[in-house]
């Protein structure tokens, strides 16, 4: 009886530990996807307002394309890094 409890508790603990990493990976996935979408929107807005900075736009576009690739291969940390750099160039094109 005691041995059965130990086995059941061990399996329960193992299952809980195995599931512990899933939510943060999902949040990184969503953060990456939302970051790409928001950065593309900001880039489109900056272009439509006619802010100068075509070099900054080009850099931001290239970084967002790279972020999209990293999202596809599930490298979410790299994706977020590229999104943050793209946002820097978008702000730079707006003179902020």
Checking if the pLDDT of 22 tops 50, the result is no
User: How big is the chain by its Cα radius of gyration, in Å?
Assistant: 21
In this model, does residue 66 exceed pLDDT 90?
Answer: yes
Could you count the other beta carbons within 10 Å of the beta carbon of residue 23?
Answer: 9
Q: Is the pLDDT of residue 18 over 80?
A: no
40 pLDDT more than 60: yes
For every residue of the chain, DSSP letters joined together read -HHHHHHHHHHHHHHHHHHTTHHHHHHHHHHHHHHHHHHHHHHHHHHHTT-S-HHHHHHHHHHHHHHHHHHHTT-HHHHHHHHHHHHHHHHHHTT-
Window from 4-8, 57-61, 62-66, 76-80 with minimum mean pLDDT: 4-8
Q: Give the pLDDT score at 3.
A: 60
């Amino acid at each position: 009886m005691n041995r059965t409890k130990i086995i059941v508790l061990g399996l329960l603990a193992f299952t809980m530990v195995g599931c512990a990493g899933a939510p943060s990976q999902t949040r990184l996935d969503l953060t990456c996807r939302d970051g790409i979408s928001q950065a593309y929107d900001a880039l489109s807005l900056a272009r439509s307002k006619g802010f100068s900075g075509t070099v900054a736009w080009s850099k931001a576009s290239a970084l967002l394309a790279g972020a999209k690739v990293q999202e596809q291969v599930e490298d979410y940390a790299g994706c977020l890094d590229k999104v943050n750099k793209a946002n820097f160039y978008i702000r730079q094109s707006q003179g902020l």
